[in-house]
Chains A and B, each alone.
Chain A
Amino acid sequence: DIQMTQSPSSLSASVGDTVTITCRASQSIDSYLNWYQQKPGKGPKLLMFATSNLQSGVPSRFSGSGSGTLFTLTITSLQPEDFATYFCQHSFLNPWTFGQGTKVEI
């Protein structure tokens, strides 16, 4: 199975900051990397797919990059509603696996 490792596991930030989350795959997954946002008590929400494609309705302050085994999610000008946990996930081949999550908190 492909292992997905996120860093950091948590970070503290302020409104207006730029934050970057890293996701590393245990083998190449081309660009089959997706990002989800989860808030307490809710199901995850798809933010970005295939590394850098914004899901419909997601603000442009979210951006993604990378390929192969190393990927990043960047949030510029952090807004209050962005405080949440973020998960990466590969869709290269089944079984689908997720990173352990990065909690963005104040």
Chain B
Amino acid sequence: DVQLLESGGALVHPGGSLRLSCAASGFTFNNYAMTWVRQARGAGLEWVASMSASGDKTYYADSVRGRFIISRDNVKNTLFLHMNNLRGEDTAVYFCAKDVDPDDYGLFDYWGQGTLVTVSS
């Protein structure tokens, strides 16, 4: 079975940094693009960033471009989100999701349970 397990969420001060991880299993990780999507409490879903299967292409939402970096380790089957200069509006549950395609097709067939990031002083 496909499993995606996020970790790394925490309480962090504004301006701080955090690294999220998503451990993947049950599929050939290096064959699929991967994505981060976030959800503020009681709110909708917001696409954050995606990376192609090989890692040669990255895509970012305007709200995080220049502050967040998506990366992956295709040997350890793990997706990362490096978050810098965090703001209050970054407070959310962060989900990793598997794309159906090696490139960023925008269709997500499996999701993790999420990890909570809280940005507050």
Contacts and interface: CB of A to CB of B under 8 A. Distances in A.
Interface stretch (A20-28, A65-73, A76-84, A89-97): A89-97
Nearest to B101: A91
Contacts of A41: 113
A45 interface: yes
Interface of B: 4, 43-47, 50, 59, 61-62, 95, 97, 100, 104-114
A97 B47 contact: yes
Given A49-B107, A91-B105, A94-B59, A44 B47 contact: no
Nearest to B112: A43
Interface of A: 32, 34, 36, 41-46, 49, 55, 87, 89-92, 94-101
Nearest to A45: B111
A44 B107 contact: no
B6 to A, nearest CB: 9
A95 B50 CA distance: 10
A77 to B, nearest CB: 25
Given A95-B47, A95-B61, A46 B113 contact: no
Given A44-B95, A91-B105, A94-B106, A100 B44 contact: yes
